[in-house]
């Protein structure tokens, strides 16, 4: 009689429980970014970045920030953005994208895609707290900066949710030692209170050089 393979049940159910729990919390599968993470691992295997760099990570507004080093001359930095990500994804990849580099400072941009995916601001801040708890265990003294979700033309219908998230995120950062909030929302608005149209690419979501110049001005004082 042919022997039928059966998985090791305790380990199998632990794994299944983890996947189910994570899906319930995040509503998505973080492993969809594994190719991007593996790419960074390949790059690092060829030349591991120096320790104590200033690290930027987060969704596409970070990933697409080409030549970010030229915006901050004299600052040794590294970009580990992964497009389309949410705060829960950064929790999942905190070791691979942040902790292993032992950074001097960490700048994070998440929350934009979270809101667009239907998450409540309170849930996003809750995920932020989980991320900070992980980072503080391994990087207890590293300053962490959260770049506020930006206003964009394509997602302007969700303005109220973005404003609420930014207010909650700022309140949280103001109460935590070594955790900072950087406002890029306000300087990207025109006199009519809406996003300046000349800051975006054709998709009206991602930024052009003018948009990144505003980010540069907001971030530079913290470097």
Q: What is the pLDDT of residues 124-143, one digit of tens each?
A: 999 999 999 999 999 999 99
Region 82-103: what's the mean pLDDT? 96
**What phi-psi label fits residue 207: left (phi over 0), alpha (psi between -120 and 50 degrees) or beta?**
beta
Cβ–Cβ under 8 Å, residues 92 and 134: no
pLDDT at 1: 45
What are the chain's domains? Answer: 36-222 (3.40.50.1110)
**Residue whose token pair is 């983890």:** 18
At 149-202, the pLDDT tens digits run 999 999 999 999 999 999 999 999 999 999 999 999 999 999 999 999 999 999
Q: How confident is the model at residue 147 (pLDDT cuts 50, 70, 90)?
A: very high
Average pLDDT, the chain: 90
**For a pLDDT cut of 70, what percent of the chain falls above it?**
88
Kindly list the strands in the beta sheet with 144-147, ordered across the sheet, starting from the edge strand earlier in the chain.
77-81, 54-58, 105-109, 144-147, 179-182
pLDDT at 115: 98
Residue 120 has pLDDT above 70, yes or no: yes
Residue 209 has pLDDT above 60, yes or no: yes
**For a pLDDT cut of 90, what percent of the chain falls above it?**
83
| Distances from the Cα of 157 to the Cα of 69, 163, 184, 189, angstroms | 33, 12, 18, 15
pLDDT at 46: 94
Region 217-221: what's the mean pLDDT? 98
Q: How confident is the model at residue 50 (pLDDT cuts 50, 70, 90)?
A: confident
99 DSSP assignment = G
The string of DSSP codes covering 4-59 is: PP---HHHHHHHHHHHHHHHHHHSS-GGGGHHHHHHHHHHHHHSPPPSS-EEEEES
pLDDT at 109: 98
The token duo for 172 is 């949280």
Q: How confident is the model at residue 71 (pLDDT cuts 50, 70, 90)?
A: very high
Region 33-39: what's the mean pLDDT? 94
Label residue 24 exposed, middle or buried (CB < 10 Å: 0-12, 13-18, 19+): exposed
Region 28-53: what's the mean pLDDT? 91
Beta bridge partners of 145: 107, 180
């Amino acid at each position: 009689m042919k022997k039928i393979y059966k998985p090791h049940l305790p380990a199998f159910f632990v794994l299944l429980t983890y996947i189910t729990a994570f899906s319930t919390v995040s509503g998505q599968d973080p492993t969809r970014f594994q190719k991007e993470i593996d790419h960074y691992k390949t790059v690092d295997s060829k030349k591991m970045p120096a320790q104590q760099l200033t690290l930027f990570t987060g969704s596409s507004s970070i990933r697409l920030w080409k030549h970010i080093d030229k915006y901050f001359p004299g600052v040794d930095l590294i970009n580990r953005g992964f497009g389309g990500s949410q705060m829960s994804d950064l929790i999942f990849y905190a070791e691979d994208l942040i902790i292993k580099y032992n950074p001097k400072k960490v700048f994070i941009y998440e929350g934009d895609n979270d809101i667009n995916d239907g998450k409540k601001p309170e849930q996003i801040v809750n995920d932020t707290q989980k991320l900070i708890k992980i980072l503080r265990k391994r990087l207890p003294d590293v300053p962490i900066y959260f770049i506020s979700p930006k206003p964009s033309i394509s997602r302007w219908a969700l303005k109220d949710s973005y404003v609420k998230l930014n207010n909650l995120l700022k309140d949280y950062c103001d109460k935590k030692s070594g955790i900072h909030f950087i406002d890029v929302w306000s300087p990207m608005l025109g006199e009519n209170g809406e996003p300046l149209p000349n800051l975006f690419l054709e998709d009206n979501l991602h930024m052009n050089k003018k948009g990144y110049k505003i980010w540069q001005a907001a971030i530079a004082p913290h470097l």
